Amino acid sequence: MLDETFRALADPTRRSIIDILAAGDRSVGELVDQFDFAQSGISRHLTVLERANLIVRRRAGQKRICSLAANPLEEADDWIRRYREHWGARLDRLEVHLAEDEG
Amino acid sequence: MLDETFRALADPTRRSIIDILAAGDRSVGELVDQFDFAQSGISRHLTVLERANLIVRRRAGQKRICSLAANPLEEADDWIRRYREHWGARLDRLEVHLAEDEG
DNA sequence: CCATCTTATTACTACAGTGTGATATATCAA
DNA sequence: TTGATATATCACACTGTAGTAATAAGATGG
C-alpha cells in the first residue's frame, strides 16, 4: 500500500492534481484544462491517484467530479513521522551526550 | 526533489533499508546480509537513497558505513502535512456547517 | 434513435526502473 | 607486489510507466 502511495506521489503532475483538488473539487475536464497533456494521460493519472486512495471520482451527469479522498496519506504520514521521530530521538541523545561531556 | 524522495520511498526494499538504519549505522555488507538480493542490487538501492538525500555513506577502511541523512524527509513531510492540514480544515468547515444547520 | 459531450480504455512508442552476473575499483594485510 | 575483502559499476533482460492518437462507452438533449 505504501508502495502505491509513494509511487503515486512521485509524479509532479499527480502532485499538482492533488494541490488543485485541495482547493476544491474539479471535473476531469477542468483538470485536463490545467495541463498540457492529452485527456487520456490525465485520465490515467487520475486512475493512479484513485487506486492509491488519494482521490475519489463520482458521477455528476456527464461529468465525473474528482475530490480528495476522505483520509488519505495517513499511512504515508505515519511512516515518515515515525522515521523522522527516530532521527529526532537520535539528535536528542547526541545533545545529552554533549551536555554530559561539558558537565 | 520531491520526485526523487517519493520515488526512493516507493520501493519496499529501500524503506526496509531506512528502517534498519534507523536502528543504527550499518556497513553495506551488513545490509546485503539482510536481504535476498545480489550485492549489486543493494548497492544501487543505496545509491538511489543517497541521491535522494535520505542516507549518507562514509568510508571506514575497506567498508562503507551507511547512516540516515542529517535532516531527511523534511520536504516530503512538509508536503504531506500541508496536504493533510488542508483536509483537516475542510473537515472543520463541514463541522461548522453542520453545527449551523443544527442551531 | 441520433448527435453530442465527457470520460475511459486501448494500442502503441519510448524510456526508466529493478534485478542479475561479471568485472572494476579501493582498501587492507603480508 | 600479491591476495583477500568490500563495494561500485557495467551490460543485459525484463518489466513498468508516461506519453500520444484513436476509439469505445456512458449520459444528456432533441
Cβ of A64 less than 7 A from strand C:
yes
For chain B, the farthest-separated pair of C-alpha atoms sits apart, in whole angstroms, at 73
Half-sphere exposure of A89 (CA within 13 A, CB side): 9
Domains of chain A, residue spans:
1-70, 73-103
Q: What is the pLDDT of residues B45-65, one digit of tens each?
A: 999 999 999 999 999 999 999
Q: What is the pLDDT of residue A103?
A: 36
Residue A40 CA from chain centroid, whole number: 21
Question: Residues of B at the A interface (Cβ-Cβ below 8 Å)?
Answer: 2-3, 6-7, 9-12, 15, 18-19, 22, 68, 71-74, 76-77, 79-81, 83-84, 86-87, 90
Q: What is the pLDDT of residue B7?
A: 97
Between the CA of A39 and the C1' of D20, what is the distance in angstroms? 10
Grid cell digits, residue B87: 483536509
Which residues in chain B show pLDDT less than 50? 94-95, 97-103
Mutate to test the interface with A, among B2, B9, B14 (most CBs of A within 10 A): B9
Chain A closest-CA separation from residue B60 CA (Å): 21
Q: What is the pLDDT of residue B83?
A: 80
* Domain B1-70 grouped into CATH 1.25.40.20: no
Give A83 or B47, the one with higher predicted confidence. B47
Q: What is the pLDDT of residue A18?
A: 96
